[in-house]
Structure 1
Amino acid sequence: MNRSIESFDVVVVGGGPAGATAADDLARQGRSVLLLDKAGRIKPCGGAIPPRLVRDFGIPAELIVARITSARMVAPSARAVDMPIDEGGFVGMVDRDVFDEWLRTRAESHGAARRTGSFEGILRDTDGTATVAYRPKGAPDDAPPVHVRARCVIGADGARSAVGRQEVKGAERVRCVFAYHEILRAPQGEAPRYDGQRCDVYYQGRLSPDFYAWIFPHGDTVSVGTGSARKGFSLRGSVAVLRHATGLDQMETLRREGAPIPLKPLRRWDNGRDVILAGDAAGVVAPASGEGIYYAMLCGRLVAEAADAFCRTGDARLLRTARSRFMRLHGRVFWILGIMQYVWYASDRRRERFVSICQDADVQRLTWQSYMNKELERRDPLAHLRIFFKDLAHLVGLARA
């Protein structure tokens, strides 16, 4: 047994919302935690967070850079349908560079150790304990990696996770949408097609053949982006078209970012021994919408609870509880959204009908209630029944688009 290197209860690889939340929760529980994160990486993300996230994770108001009070859905024909949020409600928008760093700093303030560097792999010590190898930021190329021991490793290192590919069966086969966005200086003067309190979502095949494009306000900046799983589709070209069509091509471009986004939760999150995945690494991004921040943070919390139970008992079976609890809470929503994406995003003809459905008052009310509270709205079963038959009518062409 090598006792000359540092040892931690848990090493968390990746400091996004999932990893930072897991590290924070574990540190609050008194666990020794190392949070290892690359410097300077910002995930392309619309930055929307629901009120449920603000409440559950204690997010301060100063991190919310814009308050969205409506969404505009734009069909292939350019017809737009506005979906206002009920009076007083809003969706918060955050800048991921500031938001993620705040989460990491909070974890550190509660006792987590922070290191900046690149994960290189997991080795096994003579007694079988995991040893995480990483290369510190700025280290010479010929410098040996740093090794730390861990009773448990949490891989929160994004879609196509290096931790997952090494340790968790099936993680190497995750299907992804590739997302790309450009952060612009927000219009300060007259901009007829831009509203700083409205998210615009474009369901147009020219902008994305299998997903959607977006314009999301962030206060002083704006995110313009798109996503697609289709190889060869030009994401940058799509964003350029959208910017030109909306007059945002005149705005200063501050930065450009791209990254894969998983399409569905992995069937397994742990290796049955001492490694478990969280966030994008576990595939917890909502189909159809691409929403990930709330689900990543909830996943990080559930994974932290499972890791704490494992460290307390040594029973690796407890690592499985994180996925089963998450799917019990949100598996049905992910299943419904997956079907919705498969059915309604298949062609411009169907996208046109999907935007038509968004005009419906029941659809708007139940969509916002479910999104804001992260629960399927069950208080009005007749509304769900009405939506089902309206969806069916649109799908078979009996309703006017």
Structure 2
Amino acid sequence: MTEPAIYDAVIVGGGPAGATAACDLARRGRKVLLLDRAGRIKPCGGAIPPRLIRDFAIPDELLVARVTSARMVSPSDKRVDIPIEGGFVGMVDREAFDEWLRQRAAREGAERRTGTFERISRSGDGAAIVEYASCGPDGSKPTNRVRAKVVIGADGANSAVARQALPNVRGAKFVFAYHEIIRSPNDAQADFDPKRCDVIYRGAISPDFYSWVFPHGETASVGAGSAHKGFSLKGAVSRLREESGLAGAETIRREGAPIPLRPLRKWDNGRDVVLAGDAAGVVAPASGEGIYYAMIGGRFAADAVEMLLQTGDARALASARKRFMKAHGRVFWILGILQHFWYRNDKRRESFVKICADRDVQRLTFDAYMNKELVRARPMAHVRIFFKDLGHLFGFVRA
């Protein structure tokens, strides 16, 4: 029996987290295998902040749109327009964006294979053997085996790697997202602006999260999210399209998937497996933003793997989560509280949208979003927001 090929790292999942980790490790001269399923496109609004474009050297040609404003819509249809001062939010189509990231990893030296992860077995000396199924020319699905010094599980919210390698780690809280990619309308009657992201807070369309209309240049993403298993997201998106004048727009594709909203308490098995991206639960609560956090998580995972390969100390793998939570844990905690309180019913959503009309809130929110760090430069603005939030919380401010 032929001995399986040996890799420094086998990365399961070729989304932003896995592709970033593969690229970073290949640049360091490591032998890397990037394994990805065929035909996988994640439902995603596609927004990427300037920090991501800068830190990960994303070329302009991948930006299908540049958003310069956001509009928040309350349950009573009150609309708050928020300009993005001094910049823009880039929009990408995940089908093209993810493939470009995989191609970049390959250019740096990572080997790409298409297949479906099955399991991690162990060789006689205890090394990890990654088993995956590929599609043969005759339609068969033979099992392939490769040997890995380290495995990075970047295979999404329902990570098979995580279920096997970290079976005792409690799973993340999920929101289920569904969107339809449509042809951008030219009809003046459609409520659509190619440079504006619309975020709709209405319980009839999303009882516990939000729905959206995001421009993608020639196309647009129209979607909704909810953790309620009995709620019809397809019906919600149909209603949203009807209300926005987008019902007649051509539908190009439909996608749905669970989105985790809480980082797992542990990302590694203390031996030779570490998680990244959705598999680690790093999608921001309240906003559902995940591309930046997936990519920075993939980078931290690659750094942890490199440290392990250099030192032989498996404790290095834990540094991926430690670094992520130090940089972004406080933001996730704040956003989790925000979602838990303000998204609970339409009365609170109405107040939340009213808060979003405040200029202090707008400036601090976009400063934090664009730069991916909490802003401390304007302490009095934080104080004003605190007292305004108390006013809404106790009903002193009328919605």
Verify same fold: TM over 0.5.
yes
> Structure 2 length normalisation: TM-score?
0.98
Q: Which amino acid in 2 is paired with 1:278? A: A
For residue 105 of structure 1, the aligned residue among 100, 103, 106 is 103
Q: State the Cα distance separating 1:360 from its structure 2 match.
A: 0.3
Equivalence for 2:335: 337
Q: Identity of paired residues, percent?
A: 65
Q: Which amino acid in 2 is paired with 1:56? A: D
Paired residues of 2:135 and 2:141 also in contact (CA < 8 A)? no
1:186-232: per-residue Cα shift (whole Å, max 9, x none)?
Answer: 01241441100000000000011110000000000000000101110
Equivalence for 1:21: 20
Q: State the Cα distance separating 1:143 from its structure 2 match.
A: 4.9
Equivalence for 1:266: 264
User: CA 1:232 to 1:140, structure 2 compared with 1: closer, same or farther past 3 Å?
Assistant: farther
Q: Does 1:279 align with 2:277?
A: yes
Paired residues of 1:49 and 1:92 also in contact (CA < 8 A)? yes
Q: Distance in 1 between matches of 2:158 and 2:142?
A: 25
Q: Does 1:161 align with 2:159?
A: yes
Q: RMSD in angstroms over aligned alpha carbons? A: 1.2
Equivalence for 2:360: 362
Equivalence for 1:219: 217
Secondary structure (helix, strand or coil) at the match of 1:350 reads: helix
After TM superposition, the structure 1 stretch with the greater mean CA deviation from structure 2, 242-251 or 142-151, is 142-151
Equivalence for 2:382: 384
Paired residues of 1:160 and 1:174 also in contact (CA < 8 A)? no
1:38-58: per-residue Cα shift (whole Å, max 9, x none)?
Answer: 111100000000000000000
Paired residues of 1:170 and 1:266 also in contact (CA < 8 A)? no
Equivalence for 2:77: 78
Paired residues of 2:36 and 2:116 also in contact (CA < 8 A)? yes
Q: State the Cα distance separating 1:263 from its structure 2 match.
A: 1.4
1:307-340: per-residue Cα shift (whole Å, max 9, x none)?
Answer: 0111111111000001000000000000000000
Q: Which amino acid in 2 is paired with 1:23? A: A
Paired residues of 1:174 and 1:266 also in contact (CA < 8 A)? yes
Q: Which amino acid in 2 is paired with 1:21? A: T
Paired residues of 2:171 and 2:264 also in contact (CA < 8 A)? no
Q: State the Cα distance separating 1:144 from its structure 2 match.
A: 3.5
Equivalence for 2:196: 198
Q: Distance in 1 between matches of 2:25 and 2:76?
A: 50
After TM superposition, the structure 1 stretch with the greater mean CA deviation from structure 2, 172-181 or 321-330, is 172-181
Q: Distance in 2 between matches of 1:192 and 1:322?
A: 45
Equivalence for 1:241: 239
Q: Distance in 2 between matches of 1:386 and 1:112?
A: 50
Q: Which amino acid in 2 is paired with 1:37? A: D
Equivalence for 1:56: 55
For residue 311 of structure 1, the aligned residue among 309, 332, 335 is 309
Q: Which amino acid in 2 is paired with 1:333? A: V
List runs of 5+ in structure 1 lacking aligned partners. Answer: none
Secondary structure (helix, strand or coil) at the match of 1:249 reads: coil
Q: Which amino acid in 2 is paired with 1:152? A: V
User: CA 1:142 to 1:96, structure 2 compared with 1: closer, same or farther past 3 Å?
Assistant: closer
Q: Distance in 2 between matches of 1:129 and 1:139?
A: 30
Q: Distance in 2 between matches of 1:176 and 1:195?
A: 30
Q: Distance in 1 between matches of 2:125 and 2:138?
A: 30
Q: State the Cα distance separating 1:170 from its structure 2 match.
A: 4.1
Q: Which amino acid in 2 is paired with 1:185? A: R
Paired residues of 2:134 and 2:141 also in contact (CA < 8 A)? no
Q: State the Cα distance separating 1:3 from its structure 2 match.
A: 6.9
